Amino acid sequence: MTELIIPLAIFIALVVLFVVLLRRVGLLVGETRELAVFRRAVMDLAGRIDGTLESITAKVDTVRRRQVEGATISADLDSALEALLAFGVEARALEGPPVTVPSRAAFLSEIDRAERALQMIEHGCAILGTMGGTSRIGEAETAIKRGYLNVVHAREALARHATEIAAVRPRDEMRWLSRRGRTP
């Protein structure tokens, strides 16, 4: 009887160990896959946002340098704002693994920052377009310059946060056979 119980106990222990190991590997593979999909989506979104912001900053720079009138870029500002609003909705819909929460939140705040900056530029261009005299030219130029700089800085920060998300690894605290060190 004991000749049968000992091998059976060893077999059961090996099966349990194998099931635990497979479960852990499955969790790691699932999290890695989820992170890879999230990375690709964020990098794609960051590239599209960068293209939009690059285009509009070049046009705003011409207004800022007084090479063209502010009214000439109002349609471009409107389309850039609409695109950023759509990008913001898309970014909020992206669900990433918990390890990406800080970088994702920073990415979203930079999209909002770029939106506010474009609104500031639009405000400055509106002041330039409606001025009869030069009484508010300083306010308009300041709004355009501050908005321009905020767009430039938001663009740089978006690229930095997208790179941070791309560099994130699955939970470092994951252990193969132990729950020690894992945060709930």
> DSSP states of 95-151 as a string?
---GGGHHHHHHHHHHHHHHHHHHHHHHHHHHHHHH-SSSTTHHHHHHHHHHHHHHH
Which residue has better confidence, 5 or 182?
5
Which residue has better confidence, 100 or 146?
146
Q: Considering the domain boundaries, does residue 181 fall inside one?
A: no
- Whether 184 has a pLDDT exceeding 70, the answer reads no
Q: Considering the domain boundaries, does residue 134 fall inside one?
A: yes
- Contact at 8 Å (CB) between 79 and 107? no
Which residue has better confidence, 27 or 61?
61
Q: Mean per-residue pLDDT for 46-73? A: 92
Q: Considering the domain boundaries, does residue 178 fall inside one?
A: no
- Whether 171 has a pLDDT exceeding 90, the answer reads no
Contacts (Cβ under 8 Å, ≥6 apart) of 24: 174, 176, 177
pLDDT for 174 equals: 46
Q: Find the CATH number of the domain harbouring 133.
A: 1.20.120
Q: Mean per-residue pLDDT for 46-63? A: 94
Q: Mean per-residue pLDDT for 92-120? A: 91
Q: Mean pLDDT over all residues of the chain? A: 87
Q: Considering the domain boundaries, does residue 151 fall inside one?
A: yes
Q: Which two tokens stand for residue 102?
A: 């800080």
Q: Considering the domain boundaries, does residue 183 fall inside one?
A: no
Q: Considering the domain boundaries, does residue 41 fall inside one?
A: yes
* Furthest C-alpha separation in the chain: 105
- Contact at 8 Å (CB) between 41 and 94? yes
Alpha carbon 104 to its chain's center: 5
Total-model pTM? 0.76
- Whether 180 has a pLDDT exceeding 70, the answer reads no
pLDDT for 21 equals: 93
Q: Mean per-residue pLDDT for 10-28? A: 91
- Whether 154 has a pLDDT exceeding 80, the answer reads yes
Q: Following DSSP, what letter does each residue of 141-156 receive, concatenated?
A: HHHHHHHHHHHHHHHH
Domain range for 75 is 2-167
Contacts (Cβ under 8 Å, ≥6 apart) of 170: 28, 31, 32, 35, 97, 99
- Whether 161 has a pLDDT exceeding 90, the answer reads yes
Q: Considering the domain boundaries, does residue 180 fall inside one?
A: no
- Whether 175 has a pLDDT exceeding 50, the answer reads no
Q: Which two tokens stand for residue 75?
A: 């349609």
pLDDT for 168 equals: 80
Q: Considering the domain boundaries, does residue 184 fall inside one?
A: no
* Spatial distance between the Cα atoms of 183 and 173, rounded to a whole number of angstroms: 8
Both ends of the chain: CA-CA distance in Å? 44
pLDDT for 177 equals: 45
Q: Mean per-residue pLDDT for 26-40? A: 85
Number of domains forming the structure of the chain: 1
